[in-house]
Amino acid sequence: MTALLDIKDLRSYYGQVQALHGIEFHLKEGSMTALLGTNGAGKTTTIRAICNMVRSTGTIQFEGKPLMGKSTESIVRLGIAHVPQGRGTFTTLTVEENLQLGAITRKDTKVIASDIEKMYSYFPKLKERHTQQAGTLSGGEQQMLAVARALMLRPRLMLLDEPSFGLAPLIVRDLFGIIGKINREDKVSILVVEQNAQLALEIADQAYVIETGRIVMSGSASDIVNNEDIQKSYLGH
């Protein structure tokens, strides 16, 4: 069986500076894969490269089709939803408009309204605030909105960049609970980037560790959790 996402020899550049030095990894259909690494390791760059948001070379295949050279918007239209670092909220639009935007490329307009209701059932806070300007939401609410917006695409693959960043631990628990549920029940494959390795390894099945632009370790989440080096440098044991 081919992987849903297949990345080989990915090299990315910011101007003259090379940020990724030949990344290789695979993501199986239906899996929840974690991409771990310290600040500046190249996690964000990796998932930006998948959506062609940074100049890169190498091959990236999604369901066997090459993504390299496609525009960001056409990659998204293939069913790859990207929750960017910093959330990317449309601050001047309402919460509900943000959700509608998530589905803006879908042709099945009839069921969008019911999908929005579904998002409200995942995140009741968003329902309470659905007419409010999205910029007025708290950080945690905006993160939920970003996840919900991404789900409105009915994606095959969801890329999450540090969803836990800046959120209170309790909210993080909630959010990761829902992310896990989406992965199991809605069969959305997920690639989650995290600095909080502990948390990510709890819900992921696969994990890759990235350091200064290179994959330095890969395996099942349980192997990684038990690895001594990882325990020392990422889990603080």
Ligand X SMILES: Nc1ncnc2c1ncn2[C@@H]1O[C@H](COP(=O)(O)OP(=O)(O)O)[C@@H](O)[C@H]1O
43 contacts ligand X (rule: CB under 6 A): yes
Q: Which residues bind Mg ion (CB under 5 A)?
A: 44, 85
Q: How far apart are CA 127 and CA 33, in angstroms?
A: 30
16 binds ligand X (CB under 6 A): no
Q: Assess 45 for contact with ligand X (CB under 6 A).
A: yes
CB < 8 Å & 24+ apart, contacts of 201-206? 201/34, 201/36, 201/225, 202/176, 203/32, 203/176, 203/179, 204/32, 204/33, 204/34, 205/31, 205/32, 205/33, 206/27, 206/28, 206/31, 206/32, 206/33, 206/34
Which one, 43 or 208, has the nearer CB to another protein?
Answer: 43
- Site stretch for ligand X (CB under 6 A), options 12-20, 24-32, 105-113, 135-143: 12-20
In residues, how long is the chain?
237
68 binds another protein per the rule CB under 8 A: no
Token pair belonging to 33: 């894969």
Residue 223 Cβ vs another protein, minimum distance, rounded to whole Å:
29
The item of another protein, Mg ion, ligand X, none sharing an interface with residue 232, based on CB under 5 to 8 Å by kind, is none
Residues 69-88 that bind another protein (CB under 8 A): 71-74, 76-77, 81-82, 84-88
Which of the choices Mg ion, another protein, ligand X, none does residue 153 contact, using the CB cut-off of 5 to 8 A by kind? another protein
Taking the least distance from each CB to ligand X, the nearer of 116 and 160 is 160
Q: Does 18 bind another protein (CB under 8 A)?
A: no
Chain residues that interact with another protein, rule: CB under 8 A: 39, 44, 48, 51, 53, 71-74, 76-77, 81-82, 84-93, 97, 100-102, 104-105, 109, 133, 135-139, 142, 149, 153, 165-166
